[in-house]
Amino acid sequence: MTLTTLQRNWPVVALIVGVMIGAIAPLALGLSSPGFYFEVLLGGLMSGVLYSLVALGFVLIFKASGVFNFAQGAMVLFAALSLARLSEHMPLAVAFVVSVAIMAVFAWVVERFVLRHLVNQDAVVLLMATLGITYFLDGFGQLVWGSDIYRIETGLPKTPVMVLDNIFEGGILINTEDFVAAAIAALLVLALAVFFQKTSTGRALRAVADDHQAAQSIGIPLNRIWVIVWTVAGFVALVAGMIWGSKLGVQFSLSLIALKALPVVILGGFTSVPGAIIGGLIIGVGEKFAEVFLSPIAVNAFDLAGGGIENWFAYVLALVFLLVRPEGLFGEKHIDRV
Amino acid sequence: MSGRSIGEVILDLADVSLSFGGVKALQNVSFNVREHEIRAIIGPNGAGKSSMLNVINGVYTPQQGRITFRGKERGKMHPHDAAALGIGRTFQSLALFKGMSVLDNIMTGRNLRMRTGLLSQAIHLGFARREELRHREFVEHIIDFLEIQAYRKTSVGRLPYGLQKRVDLGRALAMEPKLLLLDEPMAGMNLEEKADMCRFVLDVNDEFGTTIVLIEHDMGVVMDISDRVVVLDYGKKIGDGTPDEVRNSQAVIDAYLGVAH
Contact: B97, A222; criterion CB under 8 Å? no
- For residues A302 and B52, what is the distance between their CA atoms, to the nearest angstrom? 72
Last residue of a domain, one of B151, B174, B197: B174
pLDDT at residue A338, as a whole number? 44
How many angstroms separate the CA atoms of B28 and B26, rounded? 7
Q: Among A100, A116, A217, which would you mutate to test the B interface (most chain B Cβ atoms within 10 Å of its Cβ)?
A: A217
Q: Is residue B228 part of a domain?
A: yes
Residues B42 and B62 in one domain: yes
Same domain, B153 and B222: no
- The answer to whether the Cβ–Cβ distance between A210 and B118 falls below 8 Å is no
Structural domain contains residue B42 = yes
| Chain B residues touching residue A217 (CB < 8 angstroms) | 57, 79-80, 82-83, 88-89, 91, 95, 172
Q: What is the pLDDT of residue A303?
A: 75
Same domain, B117 and B50: no
Number of domains in chain B: 2
Nearest to A45 by CA among A310, A293, A281: A281
Q: Is residue B223 part of a domain?
A: yes
Q: Name every chain A residue with its beta carbon within 8 A of the beta carbon of B121.
A: 195, 199-201
Query: Do the chains contact at B111 and A219, CB–CB below 8 Å?
Result: yes
Please indicate whether, in this complex, the C-beta atoms of B108 and A332 are within 8 angstroms of each other: no
User: Beta-carbon neighbour count of residue A217 at 10 Å?
Assistant: 27
Choose the final residue of a domain: B110, B145, B174.
B174
Chain B positions in Cβ-Cβ contact with residue A210 (cut-off 8 Å): 96-100
Q: Which domain holds residue B163?
A: 97-174
Q: What is the predicted pLDDT for the residue at A304?
A: 73
- DSSP for A147-190, please give it: SS-B---------EEEESTTTSSS-EEEEHHHHHHHHHHHHHHH
Question: A110-120 burial string, b = 16+ CB within 10 Å, else e?
Answer: bbeebbeeeee
Confidence (pTM) = 0.81
Task: Sort out which chain B residues have CB atoms less than 8 A from A222's CB and list them.
Answer: 80
3-state secondary structure of A250: strand
Strands B228-233 and B211-216: unpaired
Angle A176-198/A34-65 helices, nearest 10 degrees? Answer: 30
CA distance A51 to A291: 17
Show the low-confidence residues of chain B (pLDDT under 70): 1-4, 115-126, 259-261
Are B64 and B29 in a shared domain? Answer: yes
Instruction: Give the whole-angstrom CA distance, residue B240 versus residue B252.
Output: 10
Does residue B183 share a domain with residue B260? yes
Task: Provide the Cα torsion B216, B217, B221, B225; round to 10°.
Answer: 40
**Is the domain of B127 the same as that of B203?**
no
Dihedral (CA of B179, B184, B190, B194) sign? positive
Residue A91 pLDDT:
92
Alpha-carbon span A75 to A61, nearest angstrom: 13
CA distance A106 to A140: 12
Q: HEC profile for chain B?
A: CCCCCCCCEEEEEEEEEEEECCEEEEEEEEEEEECCCEEEEECCCCCCHHHHHHHHHCCCCCCEEEEEECCEECCCCCHHHHHHHCEEECCCCCCCCCCCEHHHHHHHCCHHHCCCCHHHHHHCHHHHHHHHHHHHHHHHHHHHHCCCHHHCCCEHHHCCHHHHHHHHHHHHHHCCCCEEEEECCCCCCCHHHHHHHHHHHHHHHHHCCCEEEEEECCHHHHHHHCCEEEEEECCEEEEEECHHHHHCCHHHHHHHHCCCC
A177/A60 Cα distance (integer angstroms): 27
pLDDT score for B2: 47
Residues B69 and B2 in one domain: yes
Phi, psi of A16 (to 5 degrees): -65, -45
- A31: phi then psi, degrees, rounded to nearest 5: -70, -25
ipTM of the complex, rounded to two decimals:
0.81
Residue B184 sits in a domain of what CATH number? 3.40.50.300
Do B139 and B164 fall within a single domain? yes
Do residues A163 and A172 make contact, with C-beta atoms less than 8 angstroms apart?
yes
Instruction: Give the pLDDT of chain A (338 residues) as one tens digit per residue.
Output: 566 766 666 767 777 787 778 777 777 776 667 778 888 888 888 888 888 889 989 888 888 877 889 899 999 999 999 999 999 999 999 999 999 999 999 999 999 999 888 877 788 898 999 999 999 999 999 899 988 888 888 777 777 777 766 666 666 777 778 888 888 888 888 888 888 877 888 888 888 888 888 888 888 888 888 899 999 999 999 999 998 888 888 888 888 777 888 899 988 888 888 888 889 998 999 888 888 888 777 777 877 776 678 888 889 888 888 888 777 777 666 554 44
Within a domain: B91: no
Pick the residue from chain A with its C-alpha nearest to B174: A218
Q: What letter represents residue A329's amino acid?
A: L
Residue B78 to residue A217, Cβ atoms within 8 A: no
What's the confidence (pLDDT) of residue A26? 76
Inspect the interface and report whether the beta carbons of A219 and B96 lie closer than 8 Å. no
Q: Give the DSSP letter of residue A334.
A: P
pLDDT of residue B12: 93
B99 neighbourhood in chain A, CB within 8 Å: 206, 209-210, 332
* Co-location of B142 and B188 in the same domain: no
Give the H/E segment covering residue A304.
Answer: none
- Residues in chain A whose Cβ is within 8 Å of chain B: 195, 199-201, 203-204, 206-207, 209-211, 213-222, 228, 332
User: Is residue B211 within 8 Å of residue B33, measured between CB atoms?
Assistant: yes
Specify whether B4 is located in the same domain as B82: yes
